[in-house]
Every structure is written in C-alpha cells, then in structure tokens.
Structure 1
C-alpha cells in the first residue's frame, strides 16, 4: 500500500469521526490505490462501492486539505464520478 493511501485513510477517518455516512464510496487515486469509505470509516480497499470517485493524488490531497471543493474538481474535470451522484454529494458534505 502506498504512503499516500495510508495517509488518506488516516485523514479521512479523522474527518469522518462522528459523521453519519450510511452508504459506501471509493476514492480511486490514480497510480496509488483506493480508499473505501462506509459506515465503519475509511480503509485501504478496492472493494465495490455505491460511487467511485477518481482523481490524481494532487487533486485528492487538495480536496482533503480543503483547498479544492469536490464539486469544483468535478466540474473542471479533475474528479471523475461513477455511480450514485447523490452519494458523492453526501460524501462531499461530510468531508468539507
């Protein structure tokens, strides 16, 4: 597992602490691996999810750091979404 994925799991678990996220989502970080999020938190996993969000490591880090809004990333083509768009929006609200 890459250092980027491990750091992402830790950061996302911190952001999700106490949040109510009742679906599943997967961040596919190009060239690094995947982080899956569900009601139990974040983990390094490539298992199926309700929605898959794909971005490069730089875009993903900017979203996690709050420097880039996930909706803006999607609208500018930096973030691809495959699956349940409503779940993607719910995740965006939890992570902001």
Structure 2
C-alpha cells in the first residue's frame, strides 16, 4: 500500500443500503490503487441492507470506533453538510 496510515471510509449516521454499498466500493477502489483503506459504518444496518449483503455474501463493515485519534484520515461517503457538522461536534465533545 502507498500509505501505511489507514483511511477510514464511512457514510452517514443511519446507514441505508446505498450508504453501506458505496462505502464498501470506495474502500475497495482505494485498496486497488494501493491506498490503505477500510470501510466502516456509524450504526446498525437496516434489514434491507442485511439482506443485500447476505445475498452477495459480503460482511457488513465494522462499527467506527467512538474516539478517532487526532490526524485520522477519513473519506466521507453519502452524507450531507448538516450531518457532517453534527458528527464533528459529537466527536469533539
């Protein structure tokens, strides 16, 4: 991998199927271009997403740790600015 530091890829707070799938695909893309990346989720996935992942024989991403260390590299997928502000505030508190 080009960089040893892991890029944490995740979507919005209540992940639906498109958020989880795009997170998985983007993390996979980064790994294919030799970037150390891993997909995460911010909360439990819904039943539709569980069905899709089970049907595709793909494990759901790990839950993102609560406290990210300073300097953590992240890639935000399928979110909006208002959620980002809330997420950053909740991580700082």
**TM-score in terms of structure 1 length:** 0.30
Q: Which structure features the higher share of strand residues?
A: 1
**TM-score in terms of structure 2 length:** 0.31
- Which protein has the larger Cα radius of gyration, Structure 1 or Structure 2? 2
